[in-house]
Structures are given as structure tokens and as C-alpha cells.
Chains A and B, each alone.
Chain A
Amino acid sequence: MVACAAFVGCNDDFPGKPNPADRPLPQNEITDFATLFAQNCTGCHGADGELGPAPPLNDPLFLALIPDETLHAVIRDGRPGTPMPAFAAERGGTLSTEQVKIIAAGLKSHWPADKTEEVSDAAIVADAPPYLSSATILQLTPGATDQASTLFERACAECHSPNGAGGETGYASGGAINDRAFLALISDQALRRIIITGRHDLGMPNYAAPDGRPEDFKPLTSAEIDELVALLASWRRGDAAAGDAGK
């Protein structure tokens, strides 16, 4: 009798007893970074934030350089004209203001720090050019074009061939970056970011790595990166002079 009463009274701990923690949350109430990241970012940036078609987010150099507000703004507003969409509901996306904040904040703390040593050491982070360019307008004067082409030859041509038409080795063999469709779909800022951080997941060296570059290669400075971006931008516009760059 007593056992029965006890049974009725409290003990309903069977495997089928639902756990409040497993309750399905409405999409707009999800606040867990990992879930939000998996649902919204992995499609392009890869399952673990790398090895996706879009630049890796699981990149200590990138995460160290990008200012918090910029990261937040890019997630909120997207990069118009490129495949980075706006995620904030008020910009036509699906995430609440809160959720955008959670993703932006979570990115910086999500991947454990020991990966930093693996991929790039602290000095590289410390010496890196700023994420945002200080130059307001990137314009190449005719003289500067030659200078930029020389720079391109030293820093990029080993893999992408002197005129950017693609080479045989390294990240994306035949990796043409003078393709106007490609350039049309990537912003100047994204170009700058990739030149600085490289793509460690696909073997592209960062701004300082010596891989495949001349013996006397020195880490690229912010101004040099501006020049390279300006050169690429001129290819995007299809400037006659730039089209023959390096030929």
C-alpha cells in the first residue's frame, strides 16, 4: 500500500518524462550562439566556421582585427552586392536585434584560444594592418598602377600569376582573381581582409607569411594593401590600362 502511494505521489521519472530544457524554442527566442551559428552562418562559412566558400570566421587573426562594431554591422546589414545577406529583421532578415548581437559577440569568444598558436602567432596579430583601411577613396593614378603591379607580382603572382589570371599552385590552382564576375561579387573591404588574413583553411598565406613569396618579402603594410585592393578594383571596373596589368 505504502509503496503504491509513494509511486503515485512522486516517482514518475521514466525515460519518457519530458525535460523542460528540450522544449522546442520558437525561432526568435533562440539565444544559444552555437545554434544560431549553425542555423545562419554555416551554409557559407563552413560547419566549424572554416572550409566554406565564404571567408573563414574561425580565424584568430580576423577575429582579433575586426572591430566589434564592424562585425556587428556586417551581420546586421550584410554587404550589399555580395553574397553576405543582412540578417536583422528590420533589414529584411530573420534574426532579432538581440540574436544579431549574440552572434557578433559569440564569434569572438567561441573558438578556443589555443588555436591562435597553431595558426598564427601573437606577433602576427600584433603587427597586422588595421582591418579597416584608413584611405577613404582607393584610386590608382597611372604611375601608381605600375607600382601596384610590381607589388602584386611580389605578393600574389606566385599563385595567381602576374596578371591575376591564375596559376598552378597553392590555394585554388588556376585561381584567377582578375575575373570580373568574381570581383563584382566581393567588396573592397572583403578583398582587404583576405589579403591580410589569407585563407588558412585553403592554404592562402596571410599578409606576412613568406610561403611562395620572394626571399626578401616583407609583411605587407596597410598602404600596400590599399594599393593591391585598388589594383583589383580597377580590374573589376575593367579599366583599359589595368586590364593589361602585368602583361
Chain B
Amino acid sequence: MSSPAPKSPEQNEKTKKYDRQLRLWGDHGQKLLENSKICLINATALGTEIVKSLVLPGIGSFTIVDGDKISEEDIGSNFFLEKESLNSSRAQIATQCLLELNPDVRGDYIDESVEHVISNTQNFFKNFDVVIATALPEKTLIQLSKHLWDIDVPLIVCRSVGFIGYIRLQVKEHTVIEAHPDSESPDLRLSTPWPTLKQYLDSINIEQLDQKEKSHVPPLAILHYYLNKYRNEHNGQIPQKREDKEILKQMIRDSGHSEEGNNRFVLEENFEQAIHYANSCITPRSIPEHVKVILDDDCCINLKQHSSPFWIMCAALREHVQAEGELPLKGTLPDMAADTMSYVTLQNIYRKQAEHHIESVYRRVQQIVRSLGLPQDYIAEDEVKYFCKHSSEIHVIRGSCVANEYHKANPDLTFDLEDPDSLIFYYVILRGLERFISEYNAYPGQLDDQVEPDILKLKAIIGKLLNEWGCSNILRDERVHEVCRYGGAELHSVSAILGGCAAQEVIKVITHQYKPLNNTYIYDTITSTSATFCL
């Protein structure tokens, strides 16, 4: 194990400042974040909360598009608009306040409506990594989502009404390399050891060790030794079923006891760990199903000149897997009870083999890059390194365009609507709310004396929508009533929750780490429940 000389206690300021998040997405993720450009449409409370959660961790820059002037209601719900700025440009004041949060971030604004920008500025959205939209009218949303879909810029649409929140992520294709799964078993390859590993492990004869040596021998050597013994006794087979693994574990248990006076026996810790690994780590690591699907994807097989680095690396991985039969070795050894010398030796063996696999994949990547006529530095070796290390976690999302949800007979909600408690009903109501706004130019229930009549109007609109979608009208009336009660109110604490969640999804999209939402999220603050739907 290498132990580089410690850095000076004075870490550089940036590392210290961003310390917590570096733990979450690493230097490479942070770099992507720092180079990113995002656009916010409408500086509502929700919109500025999202940007706040992106400015603090240090995105590169943001641009706010908003033609509205600041009202008193805005000041009541939006922390980033001060009371002195009543009637000023909402885009300008929000930009100024957000920039105060982090001097590393750049920001600018356009004091025009998004409709104006769409029809007057060609290619305006092309340079953004993500566009965030809040409080968009139906018509604008459809237009914007189509446009961003065509130019392949991710869009995240958010809405906060009373206690209800909605987030919709639109990405044409999104690829994830580091999914950071909750748990995974270590990649040890004991059933198929490569020559160096085999040679090393073969050199340790457990049964000839004395008591002291035995208590320090690495668990992998123990497992290897008894696995061989088991195989010799079982026609070279590896234990597959639980009963078979139990036989192997018993062999380890029998030899791993040491005497501790009064005829009391304890199992040495390293033997205990060997038994633990016998559960999860001796079955040959097959290529996970989700990785197979990706490697057989058309994008992987038929590369084009504009193929993304991800797909080129997948193609190289495919070749590697065809040649080797296994994914590249992760190369990290879990901590285990063993003496330092053997632990370090083993760790080096694993690391060397992983480097060897990275080289193999990188060589293939370079060949492909050359054959596609792309520049040699199109994909850096570091990228290949991360890719190999996480090759069992790779993930691809193919999204759908928001505008499609507005075509007749779409979306298909019949299944979700069968459960009367499903939060999908809030999606239906929010769609009704959008339609209501385009028809009446106000939120349902906006005026105190209009709540009751608006409930009827909104119910009629929703009935029509459900009818268009071919669904029977089974909506619970009280939910429509509840949304009319809100009268378009935006509650700061609800927007704060949604803003935090939406910002996290934006970070996932930018860093290609963690799996993002696919694709619609509804949050209900009343019951503190939420649900995801793929529309």
C-alpha cells in the first residue's frame, strides 16, 4: 500500500471549502461541475432555491431568464429577493443575490420572457448543460421541451403549488459511469485466479502453518486453499448451492479454531472473514444483465464519428469482454484481518492486474478513436480508468420528450390510475391546473371568493383531459378541492425541498454519477410521501 508523504496541513483552500462534496462526487465530478453552464427560466422561489443549491457547490455559471418585475408576493416566498427591490427586474435581483453566495461562480441574466428569447435569439439554449424551468405556461413548455429535445440539451421542469411538488427530467440519452450502488460484493476472482494471484495463493499451505502464522494469514489465502481442497474432492466443481457452500465453510471452520484455555475454542478473525467471503465471492462473476444489454446496444455496436466517449469506451469494453470473458478487475481489496506484508502483497497483485485491464481497454479505445478519425486525446486515460473500475455499474437512460405527454391519447396512465391512492392523480391535477391557467389566465382559487366555482371549472377540465387519454374519471374530488384551496400559493419550505432535490438531479446529469430520476417525481408534503413515474 502506498503511503505518500502527507500534504501540508494547509490544504489548498478549494479542497477545504468543497471538502464535503468532494467526498460525494470526487475531483473529476467537481471539475465537470465547475465547467458547467446552466440556465434558469423564471426566478420563482423554487427556481432560486435550485440555483442556490448549485451555486454553493460551485457550478461554473448560470443565466437567469425572467421578464417579470418583483411583487410583494415574490418577496414573501423568495429568499433571494429583498424588500427594497420591489418592482425591479426579478432576473437582475435574483442574479445579484445568488452571486453573493459564491465568488467562484459567474452569473448573468436576461430581463425578457422566455417566449421572447425563444422567438428572438437563435441557438440561445445550445450552450447550456442543463436548462431548468419553473412556472411555465403549458404552451411555452411544449415549445421549449421540443426545442431542447431537438438540440439535445437536458431540461428539468419543476412546479411547486401549495403542498404539492413536481419534478420532470427530460434527457434524450443519459449515461452513468459511477452509479455508486448502495452495496456490492468485492471483486476477488477467487474461482478464476489469474496466474500471478494463483501462484501467490498456492504458495501458502494453510495446514503447515503454525498457530501464530495461521492467525495472520490473509482470508483470501484461506479461502483459496480450502476452495482447492473442496474442488479436489468434488471433481473440480465450485460449490454452487447453499449446502455445498456450507461444506466449504465447515472445512474452514474446522481448521480455524484456536485454543484459549479451559477447552474453549475461538475462531480466528481471518478465518471468520474467509467464511464470510465464501458466501458472496466464490461464484464466478458473470457479466451483469444490465451491462450485457448496454454492450449489445446499437450505439455500442455501430459506432459513428459523433459517438460519445461513453459509447466508444463501451465498444472497447465489449471487445475486452469478448476476449477475456470477464469485466475489468476493480483492483481494490477490501480491508481484511491479515499481517501488513501479505496484505500489501495481495493488494499490489490486485492493483497490477486492474492496471493491466485498464491498459487493454485503453489500447482498444485508442484503436477505435483512430479508426473513427477522431483526435488521439478524444478520450483521456483517466476516463478509461474510472470507466473500467465502474464497468459493472454503467447505466443508460433513454428519456422521452415532455411535449409527447401533450399529444392526444398520451400518456398511458391506465395502470397507475387503478390505485386510488396513487400520487399520479396529482400529476393529472397539475395538468388540469396548467390547462386552467391557459384558459382563464389565473390559478384556480386565486381569488378568495372564486374557490368554489374554480373547483367545478377545474374538475370539468380534468374530466376532459382524462377523457382525451381514454381513462375513466375516478379522481377523488377532495384532491381537486385541495389544489384549488392553494390558489397558486408557493410555500417556501416546499420549494426548498423540491429545490434541493431538483438541484441534486442536475448535478447527477452534469457529473454522470448516481442514477438520475426517470422521469417524473411527485412530492406530497401533506402525507410526506412521494412517487416516481416514467411517462
Q: Do A and B bind each other?
A: no
Task: Give chain B's interface residues, CB within 8 Å of chain A.
Answer: none
